[in-house]
Chain A
Amino acid sequence: MTRRIVLALYLLVLALPIYWLVNMSFKDNVEITSTLSFWPHRPTLEHYAHIFQDPAWYGGFLNSLSYVALNTVISVVIALPAAYAFSRYRFLGDKHLFFWLLSNLMAPPAVYAMPFFNLYSAVGLFDTVWAVALAHCLFNVPLAVWILEGFMSGVPREIDETAALDGYSFPRFFFRIFVPLIANGIGVAAFFCFMFSWVEQLLATTLTTVNAKPFVAVMTRTYSAAGMDWGLLAAAGVLTMIPGAVVIWFVRNNIAKGFALGRV
């Protein structure tokens, strides 16, 4: 019984800020700023309607989704062969290189913002979703390599050899036999790439201005001369959480198995 109470309290504490955000998003600004109300007394969808009708708002949302999706795909596709090499071959300096990859995650993104800005301006990638998608590879590729390497090393080498003995060409073996074996690992890697790319703000805002403006950057528009648009900001916050929740829903089984089997 005590355990249940403790657990319930814990969940309540965790859920409270999320509930409050949802709560705010359905109130009008007068209600938000004047009284303390635990549920919307005059529920309204005006904030959501605003976001879905204003191209600047939903455009930002789509921009964010595109670079995050692009980045997740690029990261996993690049990391698959790299992780396979680290898992299966011994080469000069392999361990150092593997650790060096991780060191990419140690520097704050701010360090890279300037060089990326300059480089992308020079090659004409500035203010595109590709700019952000590629920049985020800086930390997502190493992360995906690390996660996938753990899963791949869990697959016995004899499977590779048996496939070679059976006559499988390497690509056929890789996609027909190997990838299904590490599906959980791919799920986990994709999840983390998605999450880190989705929450990253600094590179995303530095490398875009108008055309590829991310959702978080649009959110700053609510600070206006008239004060802050609380309700709109809350609705935007709720929308920001939805893609993450959807991804978690899809990979929940992978994650559960994945954390048990892989390194992570």
Chain B
Amino acid sequence: MSLQLEHVGFVQGPDTLIQDVSLTLARGTLHVLLGATLAGKTTLMRLMAGLDKPTSGRLLLDGRDITGVPVRRRSVAMVYQQFVNYPTLSVYENIASPLRVAGVARAEIERRVRVAAKLLRLDAMLDRMPAQLSGGQQQRTAIARALVKRAELVLLDEPLGNLDYKLREELREELPRLFAETGAILVYATTEPAEALLLGGDTAALSEGRLVQAGPTAALYRHPLTLEAARVFSDPPLNELAMEKRDAVLLTEHGDRPAPAPLLGLPDGRYRLGFRADAVTVGAKPPGSLSFEGTVSVTEINGSESFVHVDVGGDAWVCLIPGVHDLLPGASTALHIDARRAFVFDAGGALASRPVLAEAV
């Protein structure tokens, strides 16, 4: 049981919104669509739902071609990022709406709505109108409506973006479990790599309407096969360094450095080093690291960690260091890249060398 996208493309006017996406979404697993805003996540979901018809390629549900089947005749539920409810119906009727249309018996509707409302803590609001609810409650109403329908395909488009922090944490854990119980193919779109990692399952990384890489979420995070995939799956943005390896020396525009041990095995040539914020540190130089001088541009303190943004001769890098640090903007500092945890991409953007310490990444 699966939904299969075969070379799906979508062109609207002069814009190519989705380009040749092939993807298999199996039942029972959570599928995360990861990508920045405008990467095509929503468009791809609309194509999966049947709200838009792909301009090329096919959609197969359990091997059956459903490309042209109108959305009304499919078994799909979708939750939009911006909560959408029927303003003239009460919360109860909003949740019950797909069941009423399907002609489900009154008692069964009552039962399912109560269960969904309890799970999403809407029990006390059932008689209210959507406009009388907070944004989070409205979004939960929309989620409850998707839940009661027990659709075969459930599409959640950044469903928790508008919720407060605590509720997000709870629902992020509960939602996949709730929908998994209905046996649906669950697709969850998010812009945040951290959320994808928390959700687990499989991830499809999207960039500019193309599928960059798909696979188990953790594997995708550890082993991006291209520079683009690494960029999509990095928050803060991936730090990059253009370099040329010649024998045992790395030539960079910030000066030449002896190649650290993990990079010695590379054939000579031009590369791009990609390293996440936690693979670079400031202060004392650890042995075997690649060091550069830079100027602090800003420091963000995030709980017990600090993100230090450093300008290195025109390259903006972000460095994650444990503890609360208050490096003042303009201060000069030394940056040390842990070469064992850096990705090396060749000139074409393909992975040339994996980090030695992959499991630590």
Chain A proximity of B186: nearest CB distance (Å): 15
Determine the residue in chain B with the shortest Cβ distance to A162. B84
In the assembly, what is the distance between CA of A259 and CA of B85, in Å?
24
In the assembly, what is the distance between CA of A169 and CA of B72, in Å?
7
Residue in A158, A159, A162, A169 with the greatest tally of chain B CB atoms within 10 Å: A162
Residues of B close to A172: CB separation below 8 A:
101
Determine the residue in chain B with the shortest Cβ distance to A159. B84
* B114 interface residue (CB < 8 Å to A): no
Q: Is the CB of B49 within 8 A of A177?
A: no
Q: A158-B82, A180-B88 are in contact. Are A166 and B51 (CB under 8 A)?
A: no
In the assembly, what is the distance between CA of A165 and CA of B154, in Å?
11
Determine the residue in chain A with the shortest Cβ distance to B88. A180
Residues of B close to A164: CB separation below 8 A:
51, 70-72
Chain B proximity of A237: nearest CB distance (Å): 41
Residue in A156, A165, A169 with the greatest tally of chain B CB atoms within 10 Å: A165
Residues of B close to A180: CB separation below 8 A:
88
Interface string of B97-129 (1 = CB under 8 A from A): 110011000000000000000000000000000
Residue in A156, A161, A167, A169 with the greatest tally of chain B CB atoms within 10 Å: A167
Binds A, one of B56-64, B73-81, B314-322: B73-81
Question: B78 contacts which of A159, A165, A177, A181 (Cβ < 8 Å)?
Answer: A165
Chain B proximity of A258: nearest CB distance (Å): 16
* B87 interface residue (CB < 8 Å to A): yes
Q: Is the CB of B88 within 8 A of A162?
A: no
Residues of A close to B82: CB separation below 8 A:
158
Residues of B close to A159: CB separation below 8 A:
84, 86-87
Q: Is the CB of B80 within 8 A of A158?
A: yes
Residues of A close to B78: CB separation below 8 A:
161-162, 165
In the assembly, what is the distance between CA of A168 and CA of B78, in Å?
14
Can you list 10 A-B contacts (CB < 8 A)? A158-B80, A158-B84, A159-B84, A162-B86, A164-B51, A165-B71, A166-B101, A169-B72, A180-B88, A181-B87
